[in-house]
Amino acid sequence: MKNFFTNQPLIEIYTFFNNKKNEEIIKINVINPDLCLNNYAGEIIIIDEKEYISRSYKSWNDLAEKFYFRMMTPKIVDKHFVELSFIKLEEKSFHSIKEVEEKYGVTSEFSRINKNEEPEFFYSYLQALKNTKIEKRKRVLNLGVNNAEEFELIKSAFNEEFKNIEFTGIDYCSSAIKSASEKFKEDKNVKFYVHDINCLDELNLGKFDLIISIGTLQSSNLEFNSIFMHIVQNYLKKDGAVILGFPNCRWVGGEVIYGAKAPNYSFCEQSLLYKDAFFCKKYLQQKKFRVTLTGKYYTLLTATSIRTS
């Protein structure tokens, strides 16, 4: 027998999902969300003199995500109802791997992820690049570059300007750097180094007018506050810019799930993210930078100098 949801409150539906959270598939019949256009979740709609509670496909997808389910293609039942199917996400994830280098290597689960094809990250990162006036930058440093997705987006979105910028990428994972180097083998303005960020000074890189680091500086082998201040003091020009990405998601079974899982918590707990992001924001503001925090799955800190010439 199919489970019909017509005018039940969310607490009932939540309880239903919670009781079935360990099942492989859930199927329910609900009022067709296409009949609820311009209605907010929970609003009453009247169809053939019957009351229904409106919910969008986004509402159902958000609920499914909380229990690590993927919503499949809806099936039409009749003129009022659709059948929604939810499949349990495969638990395989790079987050549980302990070995540092192979966790992010070319044969790892992580290597399957392409943030540039995730619309929310793509949009937020592209806006951050525009806000830093990437087209006017001459030297760009990426710390934790991995396979150089961030450089790929710059090249595709700012192709003419890309040719006039010197790019440097640093990562500890040799197989990732090998992959990045292969992508940019024709670009003489792009260099990659296999190196530990803790020992960055050994490379004698000089200063840059844009520093990018997405999901790296909070790594367990780095002392966040001190390494961040050291990078700003020694590698960033006074009129430079910064883009930092603080992960606020998990990658599970082919899906990006909102909210990073913190150690010792069974749920999303964002204190560390906020603490580190606001430390950087305050520090950069003291050094005469305008700082914004944007993004969803990655909180992107974008800082641009407000120093006058």
Domain residue extents for the chain = 3-88, 94-305
Q: State the Cα–Cα distance between residues 116 and 231, nearest whole angstrom.
A: 26
Report the alpha-carbon distance of residue 180 to residue 151 in Å, rounded: 9
Looking at 87-210, list the stretches that DSSP marks H as alpha helix, in order from N- to C-terminal side.
100-103, 119-131, 149-157, 159-162, 174-183
Q: How far apart are CA 62 and CA 65, in angstroms?
A: 5
Does residue 1 have a pLDDT over 60? Answer: no
At 171-229, the pLDDT tens digits run 999 999 999 999 999 999 999 999 999 999 999 999 999 999 999 998 888 999 999 99
pLDDT for res 217: 93
Q: What is the CATH number of domain 94-305?
A: 3.40.50.150
- 10 Å Cβ neighbour count for 34? 11
**What's the pLDDT score for residue 93?**
64
pLDDT surpassing 70 at residue 309: no
168 in Cβ contact with 147 (< 8 Å): no
Instruction: Tell me the per-residue pLDDT of 82-132, one tens digit each, with 9 for 90 and over.
Output: 999 999 998 766 655 555 556 889 988 889 999 999 999 999 999 999 999
- Give me the pLDDT at residue 90, please: 87
User: Is residue 86 within 8 Å of 64, Cβ to Cβ?
Assistant: yes
pLDDT value at residue 296? 96
E strand or H helix at 39, and its extent? none
Residue-wise pLDDT for 137-151, tens only, equals 999 999 999 999 999
Q: What pLDDT sits at residue 193?
A: 98
Strand partners of residue 31: 81
The sign one gets for the Cα dihedral 288, 223, 262, 97 is: positive
Q: Is it the case that residue 307 has pLDDT exceeding 80?
A: no
pLDDT tens track for 4-32:
999 999 999 999 999 999 999 999 999 99
pLDDT the model gives residue 299: 97
Please give the mean pLDDT across all residues of the chain.
93
> For 237-289, what is each residue's pLDDT tens digit?
999 999 999 999 999 999 999 998 777 877 888 999 999 999 999 999 999 99
